[in-house]
Amino acid sequence: MTTVAVLELGTRLFGLLVDDVLRTEEIVVKPKASVLRQLSVFSGNTILGDGSVIMIIDPPALAHLAGVDDIRRDSGAVLAETQTRPEEKETVPLLLFRAGSRSRKAVPLALVARLEEIPASEFEACEEGYVLRYRDSLMPVLFMDGVEKRPGDDLQPVLVFSEDGRSVGLAIDEIVDVVEEKFSMEIHSRTPGVLGACLVGGEVVEVVDISHYVGEGLGQRILMKESDVARAQKVLLVDDSQFFRNMLAPLLSANGYDVTLAGSGHEALELKEEGWRFDVIVSDLEMPELDGIGFAERIKSDPHWAEIPLVALSSHTSPRLIARTRAAGFTHYVGKFDRQKLMDALEACCSRWEAAA
Amino acid sequence: MNQQASDGIRRQAAEGYVTAMVGDQLFGLALTQVRDVFIPKGICRVPLAPPSVAGLLSLRGRVVTAIDLRRRLGLPLRGEGEPSVALGIERGAEIYGLIADRIGNVLRPSAESFEPTPINLTSRWSEVCAGLYRLDQGVMAVLDVESLLDAEKLREAA
């Protein structure tokens, strides 16, 4: 007897001859190691319950090998060709999980440094909450609203976020999946810790505002206030840190801005040469090669971009640095975790821009 | 050797190297690079992967990409049942396990015994060697992890 796994891709059905069907498993597809990135047949790998590792076959890539290319890909499918040029990538990998309620929550996977499952007995209570001995240091662990600490040695899933060598753990109930999804916020939230809601595979998921938790965990409590800015003003965000780009981009789009990202001052200047126009530019000050001040000077010397208001982002605040940024042409100066001040600055810039136009 | 490189070597030499044997060559990885040493078990082969990639395995909940140093260096392959050991290194968010034959001691050679990669080394070795130390018991090659794991070179090293 022959066993066939029937695969449905878009509107087509395929049969995959297999020796045996073992079982179904709920898994998280972990990304391929960089040395295996060329293998488009696999979308990633996962660890099964028994500790063994398996590769996950990407059915659209199989169909492509079979010469079938007219499949309308499911939104959840990994688009191999969109991965080749990150700047053209339209979808972002989202980690889906549950915490507190049955509804699914999402966070951009790129923000998550690690997914861990830790025996709940290892969380140690202290005055500020829970901490965990993690890689030779203490890591604060925050429990998302409604998440209960598991009893005894039961494994608790923890999302680990890291920046500048500091880590924060966010305890959740269950990791559901990783999907590639076009990230478009359908509803903007007024609840602290929630950016809004978006559709993933036809289901509504809540997009979590990691900066709310991470900022808190890192001892920089973030003041959250809903913003009523809702114009599609074009914002260029220049930051060499993927973490901050990933953190700020959803925040800005959740507040109604049309965000373009650049990973360096040079990348942003290329956009200038290509004739892009923006309503406001938000730039990190501390960047390798061309720093924020040098970048501002280059912008101010080009009449096409000279009038665009500039907002400086920095993790340092010294009166001298602030004076230097003002002299270089920045109109606002905002701390990196101060999202309310950033929103206020953007609003001020955009309204000034409108009045001038 | 320029000043910066020699400072790097001095620091590495003071911190020490985790050493291991592959074939009849002793090699070392900077102690601070090595995350763990383990016996590679339950390796899942990856079809279509570069031959040097032995496969994937799980180590305390993380997926490790295992690289067979014998294949990477073009040495004769290990026979069935011959012992092997893996040195776990972290690279970005990924963990790689470099499979060698036998683990050695942690050595702290004097930085003065360091030499740049000599030209008479076989091409495979020179590709992944960041230099070597002349020790009483022989020569220890320092592995250049970046070059070792360079995806393009991995594909070529068939």
Q: What is the pLDDT of residues A196-250, one digit of tens each?
A: 787 887 788 888 887 777 665 444 322 222 333 334 688 999 998 776 787 788 7
**Contact present, A239 and A246 (Cβ < 8 Å):** no
**Secondary structure of A175-197 as H, E, C letters:** EEEEEEEECCCCEECCCCCEEEE
ipTM over 0.85: no
Mark B60-85 as b/e (b = at least 16 C-beta within 10 Å): eebbbbbbbbbbbbebeebeeeeebb
Q: Which of A210, A228, A218, A232 is nearest to A315 (CA)?
A: A218
Tokens 């199989």 map to which residue?
Answer: A62
Kindly state the DSSP code that residue B110 receives in the 8-state scheme. -
Interface check A39 vs B, CB under 8 A: yes
Chain mean pLDDT for chain A: 77
Residue in A closest to B151 by C-alpha: A35
- State the pLDDT confidence band at A91, using cuts at 50, 70 and 90: low
**Contact present, A54 and A48 (Cβ < 8 Å):** yes
- CB pair distance less than 8 Å for A39 and B46: yes
Tokens 């970048």 map to which residue?
Answer: A295
- CB pair distance less than 8 Å for A39 and B44: no
- State the pLDDT confidence band at A160, using cuts at 50, 70 and 90: confident
Residue A228: CB atoms within 10 A of its CB come to 11
Q: Is the confidence at residue A357, as pLDDT, over 50? A: no
Q: Is the confidence at residue A59, as pLDDT, over 60? A: yes
Interface check A57 vs B, CB under 8 A: no
Kindly state the DSSP code that residue A30 receives in the 8-state scheme. B
Shortest distance, CA B45 to any CA of chain A (angstroms): 9
Q: What is the pLDDT of residue A148?
A: 87
- CB pair distance less than 8 Å for A45 and B56: yes
Q: Which chain A positions have a beta carbon within 8 Å of B145's beta carbon?
A: none
Helix, coil or strand: residue A217 = helix
Cα separation, A78 vs A179, whole angstroms: 8
**Contact present, B99 and B77 (Cβ < 8 Å):** no
Across the beta sheet with A203-208, the strand order is: A174-182, A91-98, A104-108, A203-208, A194-200, A187-188
Residue in B closest to A116 by C-alpha: B61
Between β-strands A332-335 and A310-314, what pairing exists: parallel, antiparallel or unpaired? parallel
**Contact present, B103 and B37 (Cβ < 8 Å):** yes
- CB pair distance less than 8 Å for B63 and A117: no
Q: What is the pLDDT of residue B133?
A: 93
- State the pLDDT confidence band at A281, using cuts at 50, 70 and 90: very high
Residue in A closest to B56 by C-alpha: A53
Helix, coil or strand: residue A72 = coil
Q: What is the pLDDT of residue A114?
A: 77
- Domain A91-217 class, CATH top level: mainly beta
Q: What is the pLDDT of residue A164?
A: 54
Shortest distance, CA A270 to any CA of chain B (angstroms): 28
Residues of B with CB under 8 A from a CB of A: 42, 44, 46-50, 53, 55-58, 61, 63, 65, 67, 92-94, 96, 149, 151, 154-155
pLDDT (mean) for A182-202: 72
Q: What is the pLDDT of residue A83?
A: 32
* Cα-based angle B2, B5, B11 (whole degrees, multiple of 5): 135
Q: What is the pLDDT of residue A215?
A: 61
Q: Is the confidence at residue A277, as pLDDT, over 80? A: yes
Domains and CATH numbers, chain B: 3-149 (2.40.50.180)
Shortest distance, CA A49 to any CA of chain B (angstroms): 10
Q: How far is CA A320 from CA A6, A269, A323, in A?
A: 66, 26, 5
Query: Which residues, at least 6 apart from B5, have a Cβ–Cβ distance to it below 8 Å?
Result: none
Q: Which chain B positions have a beta carbon within 8 Å of A39's beta carbon?
A: 46, 48-49
Q: What is the pLDDT of residue B29?
A: 94
pLDDT tens, A1-50?
A: 678 888 777 677 778 888 888 877 767 778 888 888 888 888 888 888 77
pLDDT (mean) for A250-260: 78
Cα separation, A78 vs A60, whole angstroms: 8
The proportion of chain A whose per-residue pLDDT surpasses 70, expressed as a percent, equals 80
Q: Is the confidence at residue A72, as pLDDT, over 50? A: no
Tokens at residue B90, please?
């972290």
Please tell me which of the candidates A30, A35, A39 has its beta carbon nearest to residue B48: A39
Q: What is the pLDDT of residue B89?
A: 94
pLDDT tens, A304-350?
A: 898 899 999 887 777 888 888 888 999 888 887 677 788 888 888 87
Cα separation, A239 vs A285, whole angstroms: 8
**Contact present, A316 and A304 (Cβ < 8 Å):** no
In chain A, which among 7-36 make CB contacts under 8 A with chain B? 30, 33-36
Q: What is the pLDDT of residue B21?
A: 95
Size of interface A-B (CB pairs under 8 A): 60
Nearest-10 crossing angle of helices A292-300, A319-328: 20
- Domain A234-356 class, CATH top level: alpha beta
Picking from B58, B60, B154 by the largest number of A CB atoms within 10 A of its own CB, the best residue to mutate is B58
Q: Which helix (H) or strand (E) holds A262?
A: strand A258-262
Q: Number of H helices and number of E strands within chain B?
A: 5, 11
Instruction: Say what the alpha-carbon torsion angle A46, A52, A53, A55 is, to the nearest 10 degrees.
Output: -90
Comparing A161 with A294, the larger pLDDT belongs to A294
Q: Which one of 2.50.20, 2.60.40, 2.30.30, 3.30.1920 gives the CATH number of domain A3-84?
A: 2.30.30
Q: Which chain B positions have a beta carbon within 8 Å of A116's beta carbon?
A: 61
Residue in B closest to A50 by C-alpha: B58
Give the start-to-end residue ranges of the domains of chain A.
Answer: 3-84, 91-217, 234-356
Dihedral pair phi/psi, residue A195, rounded to 5°: -80, -40
How does pLDDT run along chain B (158 residues), one tens digit per residue?
A: 455 557 778 888 888 999 999 998 999 999 988 989 999 988 999 988 999 999 999 888 789 999 999 999 989 998 888 899 999 998 887 899 999 999 999 999 998 899 888 877 777 888 889 999 999 888 999 999 988 998 777 877 65
Residue B121 burial by Cβ neighbours in a 10 Å radius (0-12, 13-18, 19+): middle
Kindly state the DSSP code that residue A333 receives in the 8-state scheme. E
